[in-house]
A and B are shown apart, each in its own frame.
Chain A
Amino acid sequence: MNRPWHLPEDLIERYVTGRLEPAQVLSVESHLARCEPCRAAVPYEREWLAASWERIEDLVDRPRARPVARLLRRFGVPGHVATLLVATPALARGWLVAVTAVTAFAVAAAHLVGRDPAAAFDGLLPFLVAAPVLPLAGIAVAYGPRVDPVHETQAATPLAGARVLLLRALAVLVTAMALTGAATPLLPGPPGLTTAWLLPALALTATTLALSTWFPPPVSAAVLIVAWLGAVLASTELAGDGLALFSPAAQVVYGLAVAALVPLVYLRRARFDPGESR
C-alpha cells in the first residue's frame, strides 16, 4: 500500500500566507479536502482567512486596466507607470485628434503640391514645419494648475514636480513622434528630407522643457511655437529658401541644442516643483 503523501510544511506555509499560484492553490485545496491530517496542519486563523479573502477580492474586484494602459504594459512599462501616463490630460483630450489631423493634412499637402516636380521639395514644408510643433502643443496641455484638474492634489505627493512633468512630456513626445513617424513613409521625397523634422522636434521639446524651469509650460511652449513659425517665415521670405531650416548645418545645431539642454533641464528639474520658491 502507498504511504499517504502529505503536504510539506513549506507548501502549507506558502498556502497559508497566500503566496501560491492559483493552480497550486487548487491542488493544495483538493488535497486538503481528502486529507484530515493535513487539514489539521493548516492553521485556521483570522489572518489566514483575511489573506485568502483578500486574494479573492483582488481577483474579482480588480478594475480592468484601460486599453492604453494594457498596451503600455505589453511594451514593458510597469503597471503603475502606465496608470500614471493614462492620466496625462494631454493624452486624454483633443490633442491626439489634433496631431492626427495635422499630420494627415500635411501629408495630403505634400502629395498635392508634389505633383508639380519643380515644387516637390516645397510640398514637404508644411509637414516639416508642423511635426516639431505637435509635441510642444501636447506639453502645453500636459501639466499645471490650468490644464490638470488634479494638479493641486498631485502637488502634495512625493512624485510632485519634475517626475510627473517629465514623465508626461516624454509620453507626449513619444506619442507625437510615433504618429508623425508613422506618416513619414507616406511622404513623397528622399528619406533624408522626409525625416528632417526629427531633430527640430527634439530640440524644440528640450527648449520648451528648459524654458519651463523658468515659466509655466504653456507659456514656454507658446513662445517657442511662435518663434519657430517666425523662423520659418523669415527663411522663406528673406532667404527665399524654406528648407534652409532643415539643412544639414541646421541639423547639427539642433543636435547640439538637444545635447546641451537635456542636462540643463536635469540640473534645474527641482524648479518644476510647485513647492519650490522661485
Chain B
Amino acid sequence: MNATVAVRGLTKKYGRNLVLDGLTLEFGRGVTGLLGPNGAGKTTLLRSLATTLAPDGGEVRALGLDPADRGQRTDLRRRLGYLPQDPGFYPHFTLFELIEYVAILKEMTDRRERHREVRRVLEEVGLSDRAKTKVRKLSGGMKQRLALAQALLGEPDLLILDEPTVGLDPEQRMRFRALVSRLGENRTVLLSTHQTEDVAALCERVIVMKGGRAVFQGTPRELAAAASGRIWICDAPPGDSRLFWRTADGRYRVLGDPPPGASPATPTVEDGYLLVLGEPFGAAE
C-alpha cells in the first residue's frame, strides 16, 4: 500500500486530558474506516488532518504535505474536502447559497464554473431539486447530505468525513456508499463511523482507535478474523459475565470463551471491533 496520509506520534491535550496519545497510523487511496468508542479521539484526529486544529506534537503528512507549514497547509486545503462532525449552516441561506459560499472559500472565483460545480455536488447528494430551499427547512438527514455536498466541491484528492452516515435513511445510506466507493477508486477517503456495517460494506481498510491510540489497522476481514474462535451460538444464556445477547431466532450469541454446548459462529466486523477494544467495551479511559 502506498500511504497518502501518514501520522506519527501525534499528541493533543485539552487541559490535562490527553486526547491523542502518540497516535501513529497510515493509509492510502481508497476508503478507510475509522472506528472507536465515544471520546477515543477520532474527531480530534480528523480535525488535525483537515487542518482545523493544530496538534501539540507529532507529525502529519497528507498528500505529501505538512499542515504545520503555512504554505503547505494552504496547498493541502486546496485539495481537501472535509465534513465536520457537527456541520453548521446559515439557516437563512438557501442550499445553493450555502454551497456557493463554501465554493468561494475554496477559491472558485469564476462565477459560471462555480455555479456548475455547486449544481454538480447538489446533484451528487440528491438535493438539486431543493437548491432554492432555505437551509432551516431541511430535515436532519438532508442537512447531513448538504454538508457532504460541500465536502465534494472541487473534486478533492483527500476526503475527511466525520460520521457522514449519521441520520441517513437506508436508501440514502446506499446512495452514500455508492458515491463514496466511486470516489475511493482514485482518491483517499477517511471516514469515521460507529456503524460497523458501513465499514464492512465500504472500506478497504479499517483503523480502530481507543484512548488516543490506534489499536488496530488492517482490512475489515482481518478485523473480523480477530474474533475468530471467540464467537459462539448456544441455546441457553451463559450464566456469567461474558458478553452475550439474544438474537432474533431466540438463540444466544456469546463473545469470549465457549459456554458448554455452544457451537462456533462466523465473526463479523462488529465482533472483531468489540474484541479488539477489549473489556470493558467502549470505555475510552
Chain A interface (Cβ < 8 Å from any Cβ of B): 54, 57-58, 61-63, 66, 78-80, 83-84, 87, 89, 92, 148-160, 164, 270, 273-278
Instruction: Enumerate B145-165 residues with CB–CB distance to A below 8 Å.
Output: 147, 150, 160
- Using Cβ atoms and an 8 Å threshold, which residues of chain B touch A276? 54, 70
Cβ-closest chain A residue relative to B105: A157
* A-B residue pair count with CB separations less than 8 angstroms: 115
Partner of B50, one of A83, A84, A156: A156
CB of B86 within 8 Å of the partner chain? yes
With A57-B119, A152-B87, A275-B67 already in contact, the answer to whether A80 and B104 are too (CB < 8 A) is yes
**What 10 additional pairs, Cβ within 8 angstroms, besides A61-B115, A150-B101, A156-B160?**
A57-B119, A58-B115, A63-B96, A89-B90, A152-B52, A153-B150, A155-B52, A158-B105, A274-B51, A277-B68
Bound CA span A87–B100, Å: 11
Instruction: Enumerate B80-115 residues with CB–CB distance to A below 8 Å.
Output: 80, 82, 84, 86-90, 92-94, 96-98, 100-102, 104-109, 111-112, 114-115
Cβ-closest chain B residue relative to A150: B88
**A110 nearest CB across to chain B (Å):** 35
Q: How large is the interface on B (under 10, 10 to 19, 20 to 34, 35 or more residues)?
A: 35 or more
**A204 nearest CB across to chain B (Å):** 28
CB of B38 within 8 Å of the partner chain? no
**B119 nearest CB across to chain A (Å):** 7
Which of B13-21, B71-79, B176-184 lies at the binding interface? Answer: B71-79
- Whether the Cβ atoms of A157 and B77 lie closer than 8 Å is yes
- Using Cβ atoms and an 8 Å threshold, which residues of chain A touch B115? 58, 61-62
**B189 nearest CB across to chain A (Å):** 15
Residue among B51, B53, B96, B98 with max Cβ neighbours from chain A (10 Å) = B51
- Whether the Cβ atoms of A275 and B54 lie closer than 8 Å is yes
Cβ-closest chain B residue relative to A69: B97
Partner of B92, one of A84, A92, A153: A92
- Using Cβ atoms and an 8 Å threshold, which residues of chain B touch A277? 54-56, 68
- Using Cβ atoms and an 8 Å threshold, which residues of chain B touch A157? 77, 102, 105-107
**Interface SS, A side:** loop
With A157-B77, A273-B70 already in contact, the answer to whether A278 and B112 are too (CB < 8 A) is no
**B70 nearest CB across to chain A (Å):** 6
- Using Cβ atoms and an 8 Å threshold, which residues of chain B touch A66? 97
Partner of A84, one of B86, B105, B116, B147: B105
Cβ-closest chain A residue relative to B153: A157
Residue among A63, A66, A149, A156 with max Cβ neighbours from chain B (10 Å) = A156
- Whether the Cβ atoms of A54 and B116 lie closer than 8 Å is yes
CB of B131 within 8 Å of the partner chain? yes
With A61-B119, A87-B93 already in contact, the answer to whether A154 and B70 are too (CB < 8 A) is no
**A234 nearest CB across to chain B (Å):** 37
- Using Cβ atoms and an 8 Å threshold, which residues of chain A touch B116? 54, 58
**A162 nearest CB across to chain B (Å):** 10
Cβ-closest chain B residue relative to A87: B101
**A50 nearest CB across to chain B (Å):** 10
Bound CA span A149–B108, Å: 22
- Using Cβ atoms and an 8 Å threshold, which residues of chain A touch B107? 157-159
Cβ-closest chain A residue relative to B68: A277
**A156 nearest CB across to chain B (Å):** 4
CB of B132 within 8 Å of the partner chain? yes
Cβ-closest chain A residue relative to B103: A80
Residue among A54, A157, A276 with max Cβ neighbours from chain B (10 Å) = A157
Instruction: Enumerate B34-74 residues with CB–CB distance to A below 8 Å.
Output: 47, 50-56, 67-68, 70, 73-74
- Whether the Cβ atoms of A154 and B105 lie closer than 8 Å is yes
- Using Cβ atoms and an 8 Å threshold, which residues of chain B touch A160? 51-52, 77, 105
Instruction: Enumerate B119-133 residues with CB–CB distance to A below 8 Å.
Output: 119, 131-132
- Whether the Cβ atoms of B132 and A156 lie closer than 8 Å is no
- Using Cβ atoms and an 8 Å threshold, which residues of chain A touch B67? 275
Cβ-closest chain A residue relative to B52: A155
Cβ-closest chain A residue relative to B47: A152
**A27 nearest CB across to chain B (Å):** 22
Bound CA span A154–B88, Å: 10
- Using Cβ atoms and an 8 Å threshold, which residues of chain A touch B108? 80
**A154 nearest CB across to chain B (Å):** 6
24 A-B residue contacts at CB 8 Å? Answer: A54-B112, A61-B115, A80-B104, A84-B104, A84-B105, A87-B93, A92-B90, A149-B88, A150-B87, A150-B90, A153-B88, A153-B150, A156-B51, A158-B106, A158-B107, A159-B104, A159-B105, A159-B106, A274-B52, A274-B54, A275-B51, A277-B55, A277-B68, A278-B54
- Using Cβ atoms and an 8 Å threshold, which residues of chain A touch B70? 270, 273, 276
Bound CA span A89–B91, Å: 11
